[in-house]
Amino acid sequence: MKEFKGKVAVITGAASGIGKAIAERAAQAGMKLVLADVDAAGLDKVVAEFSQKGCEAVGLRTDVSRESEVMALADLAFERFGKVHLLVNNAGVAATNTAWTAPQSEWDRVMGINLYGVTNGLRAFVPRMLEANEEGHIVNTASAAGLIPAPSFASYNASKFAVVAVSEGLHHDLSLRKTKLGVSVLCPEWVKTSIHTSVQHEPDAKLTAARQADPVLMSITSTVSSAVETGISPDEVADKVFAAVQAKQFYIITHQKTTLPAVEKRMQDMLQGRNPSMMKFN
């Protein structure tokens, strides 16, 4: 996808962080925006900011884990603008937990937003994007944790590995059918966003108390918070996303100097029959 001016972008998780930065980059390129977020007040503020700058923008409060709400978002996009050219399934939530302590409700919450938010987006938008038969692109936000499993992020790792796998399969399926849609999977490491605070504001008070009683989880949560504070800006990520879309580049690795060696080490562990190396929090 080479040209953006006058095209339509749909972005979930757009009220803050990476989603907002991608929306800003899209607006700068002259795109029309359909923005979604579960934070209605934050979304309204962002849509108003874009509208004041002369950008055609519309927003809809959307819980991406609910298929009906994502379908409503698609209806809004196609009714308002007729077509969608760039779909960014970006909404996400973080969680620190272990596989043996995270209750089903925690797995449902994390998988519902991080994974089903993506698959709901694909079902809602891709059929109509294919029907339009125009050049377009899909970006699914995963994580470096979708390439290298981090300790004490059981449900988060699973959700992000699944997003990478879904995206790879999507790329193959669209390629086999010789469509005009490209696919990218975004795998960021540390970025200055508020996603890590979702761990601190989870809905289950008992789960929060149990987490606070585990010194390993608390140590990792603290380390992650510090790493995020010194991470790259969402604007840098947005620039990498648009460069990848233009180049039809599938993997968007924001921290190549650290992520790629870790991925290689993981592959070598498999090839050489070693036990898995532990991801280091830099």
Using CA atoms, how far apart are residues 264 and 71, in angstroms rounded to an integer? 39
Using CA atoms, how far apart are residues 164 and 170, in angstroms rounded to an integer? 10
Using CA atoms, how far apart are residues 11 and 139, in angstroms rounded to an integer? 9
Max CA pair span of the chain: 58
Using CA atoms, how far apart are residues 134 and 59, in angstroms rounded to an integer? 24
Using CA atoms, how far apart are residues 264 and 147, in angstroms rounded to an integer? 10
Report the half-sphere exposure of 89 (CA within 13 A, side-chain side). Answer: 33
156 is an active site residue: yes
Structure tokens at 3: 């040209």
Report the half-sphere exposure of 2 (CA within 13 A, side-chain side). Answer: 0
Catalytic residue (choose from 81, 125, 156, 161): 156
CB of 53 closer than 8 Å to CB of 28: no
Residue showing tokens 């790792």:
157
3-class secondary structure for 56-105?
CEEEEECCCCCHHHHHHHHHHHHHHHCCCCEEEECCCCCCCECCCCCCHH
Question: What residues contact residue 186 under an 8 Å CB cut-off, 6+ apart?
Answer: 18, 90, 139, 140, 141, 142, 237, 241, 252, 254
Structure tokens at 27: 């607006």
Task: Give catalytic residue positions.
Answer: 156
